[in-house]
Structure 1
Amino acid sequence: MPFSPFYIVLGVIALFILLSSFFIVKQQTAAIIERFGRFQSIRHSGLQMKIPLVDRIAGKLSLKIQQLDVIIETKTLDDVFVRLKVSVQYKVIKDKVYDAFYKLDYPHDQITSYVFDVVRAEVPKMKLDDVFVKKDDIAIAVKTELNDAMMEYGYDIIKTLVTDIDPDAQVKAAMNRINAADREKTAAQYEGDAQRILIVEKAKAEAESKRLQGQGIADQRREIARGLEESVEVLNKVGINSQEASALIVVTQHYDTLQAIGQETNSNLILLPNSPQAGSNMLNDMVASFTASNQIGEAMKRTKNTKKGDL
């Protein structure tokens, strides 16, 4: 017996009702079931069943952590307008899905209002530099206030972050100029210190060079004197007295000097006495100087002894 259209329609309706009795709730989601407009139950992830035409899914809430970014413009203690971006991470408490769904229609608006209230109460107490330094304190204050307020509505505030601080454009330009000036000042100080160190080290090097030069000249003169003394001793041994030996040495050095100057091809013109009497004249001048010096010394000694005798 063929099925009549009535039975076909009835079968389709029965199948539809049967299928509508089952529904799926995704992971980290809660479904609120109402019966004739009244709260019935909360269903979590998996395959769930409800009474067709009697129960309905009033809504679904995500149990995942969500983030809300709130931008607030306020004024600091030093009268600088600044824009702050506060990121609020929150989630619905699994055991308080009922409160989250029925007690609060617009959680985003509620959270935003509390963030505005806290930030505009905290930032005007700080100077602009302190806002950058104490941004974590602002975030903690926002989190504390939100936790106390939103816990009643079934929301848990996981974390709050001040992710951006944007002062007025003119203020930022002024801050950049100040930073640039400070860096230039520091660079100038380092350059000055470097120049001072170079000057000091150069002076030390020159002083050391002069000291070594003086020491070298003194050593040279000692060696010359020692050589002259040895030369005089050798000449004395062969019967030449000290005066004759001195004359011979002076004349020898005189002609050695002339020979050395003549061998230097790039030397400038130097006029020196070259007569045979030049060495003798120099020796006589030296002897006269030594004699006068000895006479002056003896006179000074006699004068000192006379004064001591008078006393």
Structure 2
Amino acid sequence: MSYLLIPLLFIGAVILFSSFFTVKQQTAAIIERFGKFHSVRTSGLQMKLPLVDKIVARVGLKIQQLDVIIETKTLDDVFVKLKVSVQYVVLREQVYDAFYQLEYPHEQITSFVFDVVRAEVPKMKLDDVFVKKDDIAIAVKGELQQYMSVYGFDIIKTLVTDIDPDSQVKQAMNRINASEREKIAAQFEGDAARILIVEKAKAEAESKRLQGMGIADQRREIARGLEESVEVLNRVGINSQEASALIVVTQHYDTLQSLGEETNSNLILLPNSPQAGSDMLNNMVASFTASNMIGETMKQQKKEIADKKKNDN
């Protein structure tokens, strides 16, 4: 009997140990009894009837992600590929529905994503697809949430993670962007050149204005100096004409002296003779005398004409 007891004890130990099992955190175990659903067990140490109860599946309760790539056409007839990421989770209280009502939940979710995207994107132009990608994601989530919640799935988030137009379209878009940037750069360069020209013109105008003011001030001071010189000469008995001629001759000799001080000067004054100063003085005095005579004659003629008109009246 001892030979039979040992195998019986071994079989009993195996049956006893097979009655216990563990379920990991964020996991649910589905138990069937003779092929019929019996219960859902959560994480921890669990017990089942050996040879009667069977663990048919372990359903994960963590958030899962499914990436779906859809190719569709936009309103402006551009083919584009969209990558939609769907984050979902099985509800603890609906593990039975999630396991028994859907055979392939990934395929079901993919079908709904295809249906929504191909209904929304053809209403938009390509540029609007990039701008309104969040609207597409919201539409996908709303549609999935409505249908998948019945089967025990909760849609956490949907994201449009990639928008990939046809390669030729991307090249055309890049060329358009490059042209726009070159246009903007050219506008900035033109504005900068125009500003430089305007500022240069303003600077030149200001320089000319200041130069004119300087020349005017210089001439004003020269005139004031000449006036003072004439007054000084008048005090010693030299009349204004002779004083003016004397001042001119003096300036002539001052000019010659300054030229003589320049050793590297190539300037030549013609005519330049010893009697040039005397000739210049005589000519100027004669000119002033002739000018005064002409002025007196013209005054006399005007006076005679005025007297004649007065007598006629």
Normalised to the residue count of structure 2, the TM-score between the two structures is 0.90
Instruction: Decide whether the 8 Å contact of 1:30 with 1:45 is kept in 2.
Output: yes
The equivalent of 2:93 in structure 1 is 95
Task: Describe the shift of the 1:254–1:6 C-alpha distance in structure 2 as closer, same or farther (beyond 3 A).
Answer: same
Corresponding pairs, count:
305
Q: 1:280 offset after TM fit, Å?
A: 3.6
C-alpha separation between the residues in 2 aligned to 1:94 and 1:127?
A: 42
The equivalent of 1:233 in structure 2 is 231
Instruction: Decide whether the 8 Å contact of 1:76 with 1:82 is kept in 2.
Output: yes
Task: Describe the shift of the 1:298–1:99 C-alpha distance in structure 2 as closer, same or farther (beyond 3 A).
Answer: farther
Q: What SS does structure 2 have at the residue aligned with 1:163?
A: strand
Mark the runs of 5 or more structure 1 residues left unpaired by the alignment: none
Instruction: Decide whether the 8 Å contact of 1:139 with 1:161 is kept in 2.
Output: yes
Task: Describe the shift of the 1:297–1:82 C-alpha distance in structure 2 as closer, same or farther (beyond 3 A).
Answer: farther
Mark the runs of 5 or more structure 2 residues left unpaired by the alignment: none
C-alpha separation between the residues in 2 aligned to 1:42 and 1:299?
A: 140
The equivalent of 1:278 in structure 2 is 280
The equivalent of 1:132 in structure 2 is 130
Q: What SS does structure 2 have at the residue aligned with 1:273?
A: coil
C-alpha separation between the residues in 2 aligned to 1:202 and 1:37?
A: 96
Instruction: Decide whether the 8 Å contact of 1:143 with 1:160 is kept in 2.
Output: yes
Residue 198 (str. 1) matches residue 196 (str. 2): yes
The equivalent of 2:145 in structure 1 is 147
Q: 1:58 offset after TM fit, Å?
A: 1.4
Pairs within 5 Å for 1:116-265: 116-265=114-263
Task: Describe the shift of the 1:194–1:127 C-alpha distance in structure 2 as closer, same or farther (beyond 3 A).
Answer: same
Q: 1:278 offset after TM fit, Å?
A: 2.5
The equivalent of 2:112 in structure 1 is 114
Pairs within 5 Å for 1:283-298: 284-285=286-287
Instruction: Decide whether the 8 Å contact of 2:30 with 2:41 is kept in 1.
Output: yes
The equivalent of 1:11 in structure 2 is 9
C-alpha separation between the residues in 1 aligned to 2:9 and 2:83?
A: 58
The equivalent of 1:72 in structure 2 is 70
Q: What SS does structure 1 have at the residue aligned with 2:82?
A: strand
Aligned CA-pair RMSD:
2.6
C-alpha separation between the residues in 2 aligned to 1:18 and 1:255?
A: 139
Q: What SS does structure 1 have at the residue aligned with 2:49?
A: coil
More off after superposition, 212-221 vs 283-292: 283-292
C-alpha separation between the residues in 2 aligned to 1:297 and 1:43?
A: 137
Task: Describe the shift of the 1:145–1:271 C-alpha distance in structure 2 as closer, same or farther (beyond 3 A).
Answer: same
Instruction: Decide whether the 8 Å contact of 1:250 with 1:283 is kept in 2.
Output: no
